[in-house]
């Protein structure tokens, strides 16, 4: 997987419209300590039901840190990357991400009041702090990286040591000092939604500790696909290897095109509609559901060339008083997830109304389950272009 910092993409095409997306509440809405008043006229959903089952057992002395010793493996390097403050700074400064969670918690205090919360992958503890401020009885903040030590200090500095207990370790290895929790909250989403495979950790925690009528936040995630014109960047980064100072380095090109690019796509580059590939219900799904094959049909909304397909995701909190969430799509406000660009071997010449049809298969890599393998089948039978191909990608 490659990631590009600059966003100097260009497009010679006009703006096209995409199919309807759910309208989420703006993450920059003023935060109030009270629940949202009932005079909003943009309510998107009704309350699914508050959690009312009592937690079994009592909370232990707070602010303890449980540590476990284990030999370092290659999988542990994933957690090491989250030990540095820089990655947490990037996530915290992603206001779409962080303020949405803040709004969800502060504006739905009825979900958290006197409830026990498990924060999976707590990082700096920001979500745990939100939950404590919203009236949670107790919050268990689980973080495997060394950032857990900082989270403990942050909790103490802000006066929540009596409410938040930081547990250092892997969810799959730690023991909670109680049988069940009312709420599981996590910011588990990776690039392409599934990169890093933290979703399975959330599902493990759900199955082991969540009460039968408990709440998972967020509880819905949807993966979308669209197609873009991107001649300049593909020429600069992919076709470059065809002739490097007079030498053929096409073997590197083959590798470069297999690595999806994480980047911000200009909405003007979009050529087709967007297609919903997969919706995951985090409260009900099983780990195997994260691997899937889904068909797609992308219909051109103008005459143009297509150089790549683009994937992005939406996240929803449907247990709130009204529907809340955010989108990482190219027509939405930018997030640190950006979008995932999959370059095609072919340049597709497409006319308005013609369709690219195919399927996408997504699966965990067998050697490293935190990597994602993608198989893309696509075909176009148009006036000016007829093509059918299978391409393979690996996010690593």
CA quadruple 88, 91, 92, 97: dihedral sign: negative
N- to C-terminal Cα separation, the chain: 5
Q: In whole angstroms, give the CA distance from residue 66 to residue 119.
A: 15
189 is written with which tokens? 């989403």
Mention every residue, 6+ apart, whose C-beta is less than 8 A from residue 159. none
H helical segments located in 147-230:
147-157, 199-209
187 in catalytic set: yes
Q: What is the largest CA-CA distance in the chain?
A: 72
Of 207, 256, 199, the residue nearest 223 (C-alpha):
199
Q: In whole angstroms, give the CA distance from residue 120 to residue 198.
A: 9
Q: One of 5, 89, 143, 187 is an active-site residue; which one? A: 187
- Distances in whole angstroms, Cα of residue 314 to Cα of each of 177, 198, 293, 300: 34, 17, 19, 22
**Look-up: residue for tokens 């943009």?**
42
Of 248, 315, 194, 232, the residue nearest 4 (C-alpha):
232
Whether the CB-CB separation of 358 and 379 falls below 8 Å is answered with yes
330 is written with which tokens? 């190219």
CA–centroid distance for 161 within its chain: 30
Whether the CB-CB separation of 352 and 301 falls below 8 Å is answered with yes
235 in catalytic set: no
Quote the radius of gyration of the chain (alpha carbons, Å). Answer: 22
H helical segments located in 94-193:
95-106, 109-112, 126-133, 147-157
Of 221, 225, 177, the residue nearest 203 (C-alpha):
221
Whether the CB-CB separation of 141 and 62 falls below 8 Å is answered with no
Q: One of 143, 196, 229, 301 is an active-site residue; which one? A: 196
112 is written with which tokens? 């958290």
Whether the CB-CB separation of 266 and 312 falls below 8 Å is answered with no
Catalytic residue annotation: 187, 196
């Amino acid at each position: 997987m490659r990631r590009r910092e600059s966003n100097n993409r260009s497009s010679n095409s006009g703006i096209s419209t995409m199919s309807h997306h759910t309208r989420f509440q703006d993450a920059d809405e003023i935060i109030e300590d009270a629940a949202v008043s009932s005079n909003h006229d943009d309510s998107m959903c009704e309350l699914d039901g508050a959690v009312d089952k009592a937690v079994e057992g009592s909370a232990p002395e707070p602010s303890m840190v449980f540590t476990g010793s284990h030999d370092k493996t290659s999988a542990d390097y994933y957690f090491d990357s989250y030990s540095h403050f820089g990655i947490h700074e990037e996530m915290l400064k992603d206001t779409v991400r962080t303020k949405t969670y803040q709004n969800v918690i502060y504006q739905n205090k009825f979900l958290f009041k006197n409830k026990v919360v498990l924060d999976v992958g707590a990082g700096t503890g920001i979500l745990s702090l939100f939950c404590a401020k919203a009236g949670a009885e107790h919050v268990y903040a689980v973080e495997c990286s060394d950032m857990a030590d900082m989270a403990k200090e942050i909790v103490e500095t802000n006066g929540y040591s009596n409410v938040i207990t930081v547990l250092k370790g892997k969810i799959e290895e730690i023991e909670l000092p109680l049988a069940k929790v009312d709420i599981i909250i996590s910011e588990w989403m990776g690039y392409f939604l599934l990169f890093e495979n933290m979703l399975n950790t959330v599902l493990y925690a759900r199955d082991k500790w969540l009460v039968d009528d408990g709440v998972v936040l967020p509880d819905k995630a949807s993966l979308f696909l669209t197609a873009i014109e991107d001649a300049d960047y593909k020429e600069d980064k992919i076709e470059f290897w065809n002739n490097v100072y007079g030498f053929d380095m096409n073997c590197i090109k083959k590798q470069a095109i297999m690595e999806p690019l994480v980047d911000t796509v200009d909405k003007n580059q979009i050529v087709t509609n967007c297609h919903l590939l997969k919706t995951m219900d985090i409260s009900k799904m099983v780990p195997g559901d994260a691997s899937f094959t889904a068909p797609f049909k992308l219909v051109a909304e103008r005459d143009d060339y297509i150089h790549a397909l683009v994937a992005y995701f939406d996240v929803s909190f449907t247990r709130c008083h009204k529907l809340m969430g955010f989108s990482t799509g190219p027509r939405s406000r930018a997030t640190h997830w950006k979008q995932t660009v999959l370059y095609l071997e072919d340049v597709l010449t497409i006319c308005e109304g013609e369709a690219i049809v195919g399927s996408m298969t997504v699966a965990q890599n067998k050697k490293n389950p935190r990597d994602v393998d993608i198989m893309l089948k696509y075909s176009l039978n148009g006036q000016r272009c007829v093509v059918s191909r299978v391409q393979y990608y690996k996010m690593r």
